[in-house]
Amino acid sequence: MAQPQPHAMEMPDMSNAIVAQDEMGRPFIIVKDQGNKKRQHGLEAKKSHILAARSVASIIKTSLGPRGLDKILISPDGEITITNDGATILSQMELDNEIAKLLVQLSKSQDDEIGDGTTGVVVLASALLDQALELVEKGIHPIKIANGFDEAAKVAVKHLEKQAEDVAVDQKSFHEYLFKAAKTSLGSKIVSKDHDKFAHMAVDAVTSVMDLDRKDVDFELIKIEGRVGGSLQDSQLIKGVVLDKDFSHPQMPKLVTPKEGHDGVKLAILTCPFEPPKPKTKHKLDISTVEEYQKLQTYEHDKFVEMIDYVKQAGADVVICQWGFDDEANHLLLQNDLPAVRWVGGQELELIAIATKGRIVPRFQDLSKDKLGTCGRIQEMEFGTTKDRMLVIEECLNSKTVTCFLRGSNKMIVDEAKRALHDSLCVVRNLVRDSRVVYGGGAAEVTMSIAVSDEADKQHGIDQYAFRAFAQALDTIPMTLAENSGLDPIETLSLLKSNQIKEKSSTIGVDCLGSGSHNMKELFVVDPLIGKKQQIMLATQLCRMILKIDNVIISGKDEY
């Protein structure tokens, strides 16, 4: 019987090895491709990072533009959200990859700073990373690519500023432009059917609260309230405050108007409860007889009467209280014709105080006539068959406080309408800050791409590659818009570029809605310059950060 042959011992590949000797004559082996292996390892890490970014971008890419599609997001609790807002989609995605999380933070930065363009910034950052990967695979050092991208971004922004138009010529034309810009931002949203109404609402809200001297808008003064029931068409802008409350007693009047001889309804805004003072926690009260109990009851009643006297002496018509009050206090308020609202939140109290020019009072003893707020009327409104009630405080002394009151057939539509209106408010706010505009539909990206490509021809060495890659990344936005609109992306892009060069115009973009014109100026598709600039700078900085990462270390172990 033949004996099995022992396995030959596998020898490592020594073809790239050199045997050398140290100063003591001891031999050691130098393997030539050690550096290559290390380089290859760094490249694999870069690839995994960029692929993670690409996968996130591919999810929200289809939401870009007026023909963008919506996503259904289901939370761990089973709550459903339908939206095409980039920041909302990314914030609700559960991501394990660290690089993908950086993209979420990128969209959040754009949302916090500008409020619009959250999908575009992620698509652009992903395109830059894709281009960077190709250059890394060619053997170009990541830092060289990052520096080249930085220089290209400066060229792009500088060219964009030259092409921007200042629209604040006079008050009337500026107001029209604000409306058009608000309308553009609503084009891809669920409210696009009523985008005229919502655009007017956004412009009126911002112009009511803006400070023209400082060129700023305080969003704290604009409150967005939503209620299920009715249609989007029933939404309205209220010059005042809407409270999700009703009067504390069902027999209190539903409408409070000024008394004769008064210049308005007077409001007492209180942060003290309608309750007798309680003993401190370290003390206790023992009641052993009926007389003692009755004495306590009388004391409480007298205290209630005393509190109501303070309110009446100050001349208040309505009481707005941060805390609750019991049935006895409620009954006494009704008897004394003092309509009251309880459990009003601190933020809402501040809004009421700003709107009515009243003072928030912490003690009944401090109440006086000069601390009361003034408004035109307070009305309790009912909505639909659900009998939901809300209080509307209107015709306030300080009309700088407004409430956008949104209606919708279900909660998802109301929530999406809130997000859409917020984006629109941000666009109008940005134009108040800086009245320069550029044109949408990918026109701004195409003109920047042409400028960066022209600059690439003047560059020497590796920067030339980085500039061309940056220009190609900018082309991704118009191509994605064309793809989402059912057009041929490559054909559309080449047509836009040739027309922009031929006509020397930076207003030619993708005709997403099939209107027959490619001139974005004619179609009034405008974007605030600061929003577009922020997109370019944020995407470039994120790309630079990711290019400088070669591996991720979790709990002391390398993760590739």
Q: What is the SS3 assignment for 382?
A: strand
Query: Does the pLDDT at position 21 exceed 80?
Result: no
More confident residue, 450 or 170: 450
Q: Which position among 81, 118, 356, 492 bears the catalytic label?
A: 118
Query: Does the pLDDT at position 8 exceed 50?
Result: no
Per residue in 403-445, pLDDT (tens digit) is 888 888 888 888 888 888 888 888 888 888 888 888 888 888 8
Mean pLDDT of 290-306: 83
Q: Which position among 81, 83, 88, 119 bears the catalytic label?
A: 119
pLDDT band with cut points at 50, 70 and 90 for residue 225: confident
pLDDT band with cut points at 50, 70 and 90 for residue 153: very high
- State the pLDDT at residue 557: 57
**95 vs 102: CA distance, rounded Å:** 10
- State the pLDDT at residue 387: 67
Fold annotation for 257-375: GroEL (3.50.7)
Alpha helices (H) in 399-551, listed in sequence order: 411-433, 443-458, 463-474, 476-484, 489-503, 520-523, 529-547
Mean pLDDT score of the chain:
81
Percent of the chain scored above 70 by pLDDT?
Answer: 86
Query: Does the pLDDT at position 560 exceed 50?
Result: no
Active site residue 118: yes
Q: How far apart are the first and last CA of the chain?
A: 51
Mean pLDDT of 298-308: 84
- State the pLDDT at residue 184: 76
Check: CB of residue 15 under 8 Å from CB of residue 32.
Answer: no
171 Cβ contact list (under 8 Å, min separation 6): none
Active site residue 244: no
Q: 37-166+438-559 with 257-375: one CATH topology? A: no
For 386-390, the CB contacts below 8 A with 24+ separation are: 386/228, 386/229, 388/227, 388/229, 389/245, 389/246, 390/225, 390/227, 390/242, 390/243, 390/244, 390/245, 390/246
Per residue in 168-219, pLDDT (tens digit) is 656 667 787 788 888 877 876 777 677 788 888 988 888 888 877 777 888 8
Q: Which position among 423, 463, 475, 527 bears the catalytic label?
A: 423
Q: Which position among 81, 83, 85, 401 bears the catalytic label?
A: 85
Structure tokens at 258: 């000024």
Check: CB of residue 56 under 8 Å from CB of residue 126.
Answer: yes
pLDDT band with cut points at 50, 70 and 90 for residue 469: very high
Name the maximum alpha-carbon separation found in the chain. 124
CATH architecture of 37-166+438-559: Orthogonal Bundle (1.10)
25 Cβ contact list (under 8 Å, min separation 6): none
- State the pLDDT at residue 33: 47
C-alpha distances (whole Å) from 487 to each of 29, 114, 132, 484, 507 are 60, 29, 27, 7, 19
CA nearest 471: which of 525, 540, 549? 540
**What pTM, to 2 d.p., does this model score?**
0.74
Query: Does the pLDDT at position 13 exceed 70?
Result: no
- State the pLDDT at residue 473: 92
**109 vs 545: CA distance, rounded Å:** 15
Query: Does the pLDDT at position 332 exceed 50?
Result: yes
Per residue in 92-151, pLDDT (tens digit) is 888 777 778 888 888 888 888 787 778 888 889 999 988 988 888 888 888 888 899 999
Per residue in 476-525, pLDDT (tens digit) is 998 998 888 888 889 988 988 898 888 888 888 888 877 778 888 888 78
| Residue whose pair of structure tokens reads 């490559």 in the numeric block | 490
**481 vs 497: CA distance, rounded Å:** 15
Structure tokens at 397: 């002394």
- State the pLDDT at residue 35: 44
Domain boundaries, the chain: 37-166+438-559, 257-375
**382 vs 484: CA distance, rounded Å:** 42
Alpha helices (H) in 25-97, listed in sequence order: 34-61, 86-92
| Residue whose pair of structure tokens reads 């969003």 in the numeric block | 219
**423 vs 324: CA distance, rounded Å:** 36
Q: 8-22, 454-468, 526-540 — which is least confidently predicted?
A: 8-22
Read off the DSSP letter of residue 315. T
Active site residue 271: no
Query: Does the pLDDT at position 553 exceed 80?
Result: no
pLDDT band with cut points at 50, 70 and 90 for residue 540: very high
Query: Does the pLDDT at position 11 exceed 50?
Result: no
pLDDT band with cut points at 50, 70 and 90 for residue 555: low
Q: Which of 23-37, 172-186, 269-283, 308-322 has the highest mean pLDDT?
A: 308-322
More confident residue, 91 or 42: 91
Helix (H) or strand (E) run with residue 355 in it: helix 346-356
CA nearest 475: which of 456, 501, 447, 454? 447
Query: Does the pLDDT at position 52 exceed 50?
Result: yes
Active site residue 540: no
